[in-house]
Amino acid sequence: MKMFGLKYLLWLVVLLGFTAQAGAQSITSESQSLTKKQQAIIPIAAFTASGDLDSLKGALHNGLDAGLTINETKEVMVHLYAYCGFPRSIRGLQTLMAVLDDRKAKGINDEWGAEASPIKDKRSKYDQGKEVLGELTGAPQDGPKTGYAAFSPEIEVFLKEHLFADIFERDVLSYSERELVTISVLSSIGGVEPMLRSHMRICLNVGLTPGQLQQFVNIIQASVGEKEAKAAQSVLDEVLRSVKSE
């Protein structure tokens, strides 16, 4: 058990607590509770982003046991490099390889799962990404560029063409699963509250509920820490107040 890491064990205790209370609290009712696979994605993304590889090993075992395929788990780490960089992503993938070797040695044969479907859209990647971002945000993307996009048009192009076209259009993970990865990373690295705010709103747009986002914060508290959870809770409260007033 030592190899799994203290944070992972604490998170597992909290997760078991969620399960035990599911019938008593609306926050974990069937319609409000994240699936086991969605719950497993959160610490995998958070530990990869923070570089806590000891705890990541335990989270990976749990995620594979919860039904994540190898390709889905790989995709979590491919997705998050856009938010925390290649070094963290590659170290996560290397840790996954070691975990899979360990499981195979124990006679556990994990399912590879589906590969990403070919993208047949013949439009430019920029136009594809613009459409995906519009779907995610529920807002048109044809207005004049402002803020960082006006200051650095290059990065706005990279975001549309690569993040929202190349990455988000890969159907190994759903939009809601990708957003769970994203807010897990942003909560883990900290100091990016405006981005976390935007992506929590996107979470609501792609079908996650306020109760599921509260459960997300609770898992962050157990797996990452009090400071990160407090910041995430503050952002979530702000987003929910804003949505309610609209």
Residue range(s) occupied by CATH 1.20.1290.10 in the chain: 2-114+173-245
* 150-166 tens-digit pLDDT: 999 999 999 999 999 99
For residues 214 and 220, give the distance between their C-alpha atoms in angstroms, rounded to a whole number. 10
* 69-100 tens-digit pLDDT: 999 999 999 999 999 999 999 999 999 999 99
The answer to whether the predicted template modeling score (pTM) of the entire model surpasses 0.85 is yes
CATH topology of domain 2-114+173-245: AhpD-like (1.20.1290)
Mean pLDDT of the residues in the chain:
90
Model confidence at 109, pLDDT cuts 50, 70, 90, reads: very high
* 166-184 tens-digit pLDDT: 999 999 999 999 999 999 9
